[in-house]
Chains A and B, each alone.
Chain A
Amino acid sequence: MAHIVVPLDQPSNYKDSQSKVDRQKHTDLLAKSTTLYIGNLSFYTTEEQIYEIFSKCASSEDGGGIKRIIMGLDRNTRTPCGFCFVEYYTHAEALASMRYVSGTKLDERIIRCDLDLGYKEGRQFGRGKSGGQVRDEHRQDYDPGRGGWGAQAQRLEMERRREVEERYADAQDGAGAVAGGGDDWKDNSGSGVTDSKKRARSPDDDGEGRMGQRVRIDEDIEAERM
């Protein structure tokens, strides 16, 4: 359906540059994806703000909901660096976010959503040289929401910043660093207490620089801002 316009929930040319899957596999996986990559976040935006807007695309009555949010962190400082992953229980919810959330403002910035192959260990960290995202390495503009907040910072902003800095000071890497969000309902009766399961992880996934395409798209989004 929709021959007249291009639906907003089509996968864009965004991809994880470290992903080793081929194009066909990539397309197939995205057609079932329940995870979104969210870009152009303010460094100060909290998971709860993200939860609030993305929960409006959730369909709990259909077995969905927000499974987990993985905040993108600066590799060195362990502070948010402007991206995150939102994982739902169903694909339809991810598509709804593409249609209704992508391109709207959160914390007064236009955010961007892309279907993602799914979180893998290590992807929560920035891949730029200095620890943050690659796009912030070469960025020329002054962006108060993304670390461009100099000495003139107001007391309030400093306070928010301090909170944010403390928040993830305990962030870990390695297996089990990120919670799973809870599986679908399981029958526990009679089977005794089962231990929490660790998710299967890909051992060879180690993050490196996010690629040039990304920067280009982000610039397009910047241009859209009013």
Chain B
Amino acid sequence: MSYNQNRPYRGGRRRNRDDWDNNRRDAVESPEQRLKSAILKFGEVDAVEELPGLVKQIHAESTVVLPSSISEAFRIGVTEQPYKIPYYVALLRSLYDPSDVEGPPGAPPLARQILEDFWKGFQAYLDKLSWRDTRLCIHFFAHLTVAGIISADSMFGLLQSFTAVLDEFGVSHGRAKQAALCAAEGLMIAGQVLKQTSSSKVTDIMTAIQTYNDTTMTSRWIVLPLVHLHSTESNFHNVDELLDSLFLALKALDDSDFTENNYTYPQSYASFPALDSAEHPQFDLPSVLVPPEVIELDGLTNDDGEDVQVQKQEWPEYYIRLFDDEISPSPKTPLGYATRSTIVDVVDIFEVNRKECARLLLELPKWTSPGVFKPRPGAPAAEDPTPGPNWQLESSIIEVILGSLLVLPESSHKSLYYFGLITELCKLSPPTVGPAVGKSIRKLYTNLAEGLDVDVARRFAEWFAVHMSNFGFQWVWKEWIPDLSLDLQHPRRTYMRRAIEFEIRLAYHERIHKTLPPEMQDPASLTISEQPPGPNFEYDEAGTSLHNDPLVLVSLMLIPYADHVHHDAAQSVLNLLRGRAKPDDVIAELETLKSSLETSDTEHVDSVVRSIVVQSLLHIGARSFSHLLNAIERYLPLLRHIASAGVSSTGGSGNAEAKTDILTAAATFWRQNGQLVGIVFDKLMQYQIVDPTDVITWTFANGGAVSDRNQHSSKYMSMYEWDLVKGALDKANGRVMIARRKVTALRKEDDETRARANARVGETMEVDADGKADELPISENPQLTAALKAFATLTREQKAALSCTLEGFVGALTNPDQRVQVQQVVSAAEWETRETWNSEQWSAWETWGWYRNFCRMYSPYLRNYSTTLYTISLSRFEGSSDPVEQLLHKTWNIAMGVE
């Protein structure tokens, strides 16, 4: 048999591929592309060596390449490779020097043309409020000021336009923060020259930043990654707020009259002689105004006339420190601030390619002053250690990445980006990055007992699991064995359980079980279940094996375990579903079942029937996510039937009690598996069997009681319940988002249609006496009407979901049954004795944490309804002297920005 016969599609494939390849772009570079690429690659080998050649090339090519193209390359270089900015300044400075290539007579020097065009690009960034680009261009201008190319006065003017933002009435924190960074970083770089020009203007800029920063104090407590519930103290020694650090670094520079600058910000252009001011007058930056933020108002309101536009809230930005100042840069020092902000910028810019980002981060020492980072082990040893902080590169990078990941309320990119970036760093240099990662994990783990925020702890556990899943699940669990003696709900214990649960989700039970030491495998330690987290069909004998599992035993004591009296009934339903009976036939069978149960003294017959149906349905869908979807889709009419409590064809929202039963049955079926409960709830909402509010109400009322993950029956909130509530809130919010987009799109379409129609009318009709063409009557667009109606329904649902969550938290934290614990954990004295806390106290503490997280995370949504929500749930605590009520009140007010 010939090769070709073996692979009959070979010819086809060949032809197919050629078609595609032929369309590829021609590989020959134009002079413009060649020059741009040379500018972007400048300095990769040795900037000093490359400089004369590149200057020559630019001059030579300037006869065929426009200055605007050269300046574009500069702009990309500056905004995408900020570590090279001083070299680009050196490059521009060199272009001022005489060359053999004559420009057109009368034209300004090439360097000046480039700078003028660069300014236009800067203006464009500013107009778009593209803050990072704007700020990095300011770095470039500031260095040019030091190099004497830009006038100090105009540089002051530029910086002042940014401090002016800080005085705007009602300025958002996000905008103020960015403006402050622009002004302060510009000043830090150019301070030496600027202070010589006017020390009072320097003071003005600093005062403006400090004054603004002082106004942010009250809002800080809610975003602290380490929290003391009993105090608004925000000075933890291992967390740094961004603007605080910025100001302290700036102040340190100012105190030394910016003499350290050359080391803090390398000045690769410092050796160039000053320009001859007669031949090359200094460039004056034109004055600018920072444009106001554009908020596109679509005028959509909900039924109650509340504006429902979602505006992302920005908060003071806290970064956790994991290492000492000798190991990694402190952001409160000038060099530390500069170094960290470069890392932050690189992490941000190269989000599109984490692999390249990791490589560039490890190459950073190439661009920093000698002695900033410790030389790599194995590098040729210098005779004398270079003076400088000699920080550890890898620890510094990991600290900044984890700090960015753990910023509250949300990191600027998805968590997974930071996870992936750390993985790439580890792959590039395992022996140096690995230890830094290990130390970071230990440090964060230590912080768990010091009040590490619940959502920070959650992200930490998530990162841990994903990270380990990329490196063979190798963690030295045995060093945490002593902590098994801590209370079951101690944050370190919950952390271990969560991390293990997340690992299992990414792998499988046996795989993770075998990575643990015997002390943790021991079922009595309640760290990992003995069995894989499988389904539990309540009406099946197979379920009895569970009784051997202590994790389950705990919950069995708490929930009434069905004794299989309905085994036969359940089998009949299950067999129908297995045999793919028609939904109507199943519904008919349910009637028979119901009457037989009624005759057998069964209580809550409806609930039992619902539970049997839902569990049987999940049973046939238990094999995989797809099986679940298939089962649900096949039996949608059945699910709708039971969700509406048998009153079919009503559609709409169903019966609250019935939906509670459905959720209870689902949570019971998957009670060993939090992931599956989340998935089932998500799809039940997606298929509109239950609404987000049903899920939220159910979770606050029953969550802890059904799950095996939770060791208590009381109505506290743990991560498990929070995840369910969050899933429901996000669903409700996401639906409003989709509905809004739909309305906007339809309106636009409508406007265009009308404009076209009017244009036609205008062409054919006479203009009447008022000089106004008769407009076509506005016809109702039925699609738009429907979309607006849907929007109204969904915003109502959104508001209900938010309200329900707030009520749930207020209910949990003021529940008389747990009042003592809830109050204890907000007291300073109790906090000091937390090592003796029991499970109830730790659970109460965690509940506070999720409440605080809810308020800050959903504040953009909550603010739209704040008055109503406050009136319903919190107004009764106004002026209360009770510490619990005060904290409920205060947390809300800070999140709403009214305190």
Q: Does A28 contact B (CB under 8 A)?
A: no
What's the nearest-Cβ distance from chain B to residue A102, in Å?
9
Check B688–A48 contact: CB distance below 8 A: no
Check A211–B16 contact: CB distance below 8 A: yes
Q: In the complex, what residues of B have CB within 8 A of residue A104's CB?
A: 420, 423, 470
Q: Does B789 contact A (CB under 8 A)?
A: yes
Bound CA–CA A3/B350 (angstroms)? 10
**Residue interface mask A43-76, B partner, CB < 8 A = 1:** 0001111011100110111111100111100000
Q: Does A96 contact B (CB under 8 A)?
A: yes
Interface-side segment among A33-41, A140-148, A179-187: A179-187
Check A63–B735 contact: CB distance below 8 A: yes
Check A185–B355 contact: CB distance below 8 A: no
Q: Does B316 contact A (CB under 8 A)?
A: no
What's the nearest-Cβ distance from chain B to residue A42, in Å?
11
Q: In the complex, what residues of A have CB within 8 A of residue B81's CB?
A: 4
Closest B residue to A191 by beta carbon equals: B651
Bound CA–CA A195/B639 (angstroms)? 12
Q: In the complex, what residues of B have CB within 8 A of residue A192's CB?
A: 649, 651
Closest A residue to B860 by beta carbon equals: A61
Check B354–A8 contact: CB distance below 8 A: yes
What's the nearest-Cβ distance from chain A to residue B800, in Å?
14
Q: Does A100 contact B (CB under 8 A)?
A: yes
Q: In the complex, what residues of A have CB within 8 A of residue B652's CB?
A: 188-190
Check B626–A68 contact: CB distance below 8 A: yes
Check B637–A193 contact: CB distance below 8 A: yes
Check B786–A61 contact: CB distance below 8 A: no
What's the nearest-Cβ distance from chain A to residue B110, in Å?
22
Q: Assuming A65-B682, A192-B651, A212-B13, is B506 touching A53 (CB within 8 A)?
A: yes
Bound CA–CA A4/B39 (angstroms)? 11
Bound CA–CA A99/B355 (angstroms)? 10
Q: In the complex, what residues of A have CB within 8 A of residue B729's CB?
A: 61
Closest A residue to B621 by beta carbon equals: A179
Interface residues of B in 3-24 (CB under 8 A from A): 9-10, 13, 16-17, 19-20, 23
Q: Does B113 contact A (CB under 8 A)?
A: no
Q: Does B630 contact A (CB under 8 A)?
A: yes
Q: Does A101 contact B (CB under 8 A)?
A: yes
Q: In the complex, what residues of B have CB within 8 A of residue A191's CB?
A: 651
Bound CA–CA A11/B765 (angstroms)? 51
Q: Does B731 contact A (CB under 8 A)?
A: yes
Check B793–A69 contact: CB distance below 8 A: no
Q: Assuming A3-B40, A96-B416, A99-B354, is B738 touching A184 (CB within 8 A)?
A: yes
Bound CA–CA A160/B717 (angstroms)? 35
What's the nearest-Cβ distance from chain A to residue B416, in Å?
4
Q: Does B750 contact A (CB under 8 A)?
A: no
Q: In the complex, what residues of B have CB within 8 A of residue A218's CB?
A: none
**Residue interface mask A90-104, B partner, CB < 8 A = 1:** 000000100111011
Q: Assuming A8-B352, A196-B633, is B682 touching A46 (CB within 8 A)?
A: no
Interface size on B (CB < 8 Å)? 80
Q: In the complex, what residues of B have CB within 8 A of residue A13's CB?
A: 20
From B636, B734, B790, residue with most partner A Cβ within 10 Å: B734
Q: Does B683 contact A (CB under 8 A)?
A: yes
Which of A6, A51, A190 lies in contact with B679, CB distance below 8 A? A51
The interface of chain B, by Cβ under 8 A from chain A, is 9-10, 13, 16-17, 19-20, 23, 40, 76, 80-81, 349-357, 414-417, 419-420, 423, 427, 462, 466, 469-470, 472, 505-508, 510, 623-627, 629-630, 632-633, 636-637, 640, 648-649, 651-653, 675-676, 679, 682-683, 686-688, 727, 729-731, 733-735, 737-739, 741, 786, 789-790, 793-794
Check B786–A187 contact: CB distance below 8 A: yes
Which of A70, A96, A107 lies in contact with B626, CB distance below 8 A? A70
Q: Does A77 contact B (CB under 8 A)?
A: no
Q: In the complex, what residues of B have CB within 8 A of residue A17's CB?
A: 9, 13, 16
Q: Does A9 contact B (CB under 8 A)?
A: yes
Interface size on A (CB < 8 Å)? 71
Q: A47-B626, A179-B633, A190-B652 are in contact. List 9 more A-B contacts (CB 8 A).
A: A5-B350, A5-B353, A52-B506, A65-B682, A65-B731, A99-B420, A107-B506, A184-B738, A186-B688
What's the nearest-Cβ distance from chain B to residue A187, in Å?
5
Q: In the complex, what residues of B have CB within 8 A of residue A5's CB?
A: 350, 352-353, 356-357
What's the nearest-Cβ distance from chain B to residue A211, in Å?
5
Q: In the complex, what residues of A have CB within 8 A of residue B419's CB?
A: 100
Q: In the complex, what residues of B have CB within 8 A of residue A4's CB?
A: 40, 76, 80-81, 350, 356
From B20, B416, B420, B789, residue with most partner A Cβ within 10 Å: B416
Q: In the complex, what residues of B have CB within 8 A of residue A8's CB?
A: 352-355
Bound CA–CA A190/B16 (angstroms)? 52
Closest B residue to A160 by beta carbon equals: B508
Check B651–A185 contact: CB distance below 8 A: no
Closest B residue to A46 by beta carbon equals: B624
Closest A residue to B76 by beta carbon equals: A3
What's the nearest-Cβ distance from chain A to residue B689, in Å?
10
What's the nearest-Cβ distance from chain A to residue B72, in Å?
10
Q: Does A201 contact B (CB under 8 A)?
A: no
Check A189–B651 contact: CB distance below 8 A: yes
Closest B residue to A56 by beta carbon equals: B416
Q: In the complex, what residues of B have CB within 8 A of residue A103's CB?
A: 355
Check A23–B354 contact: CB distance below 8 A: no
Which of B16, B423, B505, B679 lies in contact with A49, CB distance below 8 A? B505
What's the nearest-Cβ distance from chain B to residue A9, in Å?
7
Bound CA–CA A154/B470 (angstroms)? 23
Bound CA–CA A8/B462 (angstroms)? 23
Bound CA–CA A8/B417 (angstroms)? 12
Check B675–A182 contact: CB distance below 8 A: no
Interface residues of A in 6-33 (CB under 8 A from B): 6-9, 13, 15, 17, 23
Q: Assuming A49-B507, A60-B727, is B427 touching A108 (CB within 8 A)?
A: no
Q: Does A223 contact B (CB under 8 A)?
A: no
Q: In the complex, what residues of A have CB within 8 A of residue B508's CB?
A: 46, 49, 160
Check A61–B733 contact: CB distance below 8 A: yes
Check B352–A3 contact: CB distance below 8 A: no
Check B626–A178 contact: CB distance below 8 A: yes
Bound CA–CA A186/B691 (angstroms)? 12
Check A63–B737 contact: CB distance below 8 A: yes
Bound CA–CA A196/B636 (angstroms)? 7
Check B688–A185 contact: CB distance below 8 A: yes
- Lowest 4 CB-CB distances: which A-B pairs, in order? A179-B629, A182-B686, A60-B730, A7-B352
What's the nearest-Cβ distance from chain B to residue A169, in Å?
9
Q: Does A151 contact B (CB under 8 A)?
A: no
Check B734–A64 contact: CB distance below 8 A: yes
Closest B residue to A171 by beta carbon equals: B626
Which of B427, B624, B637, B737 lies in contact with A47, CB distance below 8 A? B624
Bound CA–CA A24/B54 (angstroms)? 39
Check A187–B793 contact: CB distance below 8 A: yes
Closest B residue to A179 by beta carbon equals: B629
Check B355–A65 contact: CB distance below 8 A: no
What's the nearest-Cβ distance from chain A to residue B649, in Å?
5
Bound CA–CA A212/B730 (angstroms)? 42
Check A57–B414 contact: CB distance below 8 A: yes
Check A179–B20 contact: CB distance below 8 A: no
Check A108–B630 contact: CB distance below 8 A: no
Which of A56, A168, A187, A193 lies in contact with B640, CB distance below 8 A? A193
Q: In the complex, what residues of A have CB within 8 A of residue B651's CB?
A: 188-193
Bound CA–CA A178/B628 (angstroms)? 11
Q: Does A121 contact B (CB under 8 A)?
A: no
Check B472–A211 contact: CB distance below 8 A: no
Closest A residue to B730 by beta carbon equals: A60
Check B353–A3 contact: CB distance below 8 A: no
What's the nearest-Cβ distance from chain A to residue B170, in Å?
26
Q: In the complex, what residues of B have CB within 8 A of residue A47's CB?
A: 624-626
Which of A56, A166, A182, A195 lies in contact with B414, CB distance below 8 A? A56
Check B734–A69 contact: CB distance below 8 A: no
Q: Assuming A51-B679, A56-B415, is B625 touching A3 (CB within 8 A)?
A: no
Bound CA–CA A189/B632 (angstroms)? 20
Check B793–A189 contact: CB distance below 8 A: yes
Bound CA–CA A150/B586 (angstroms)? 45
Bound CA–CA A48/B504 (angstroms)? 11
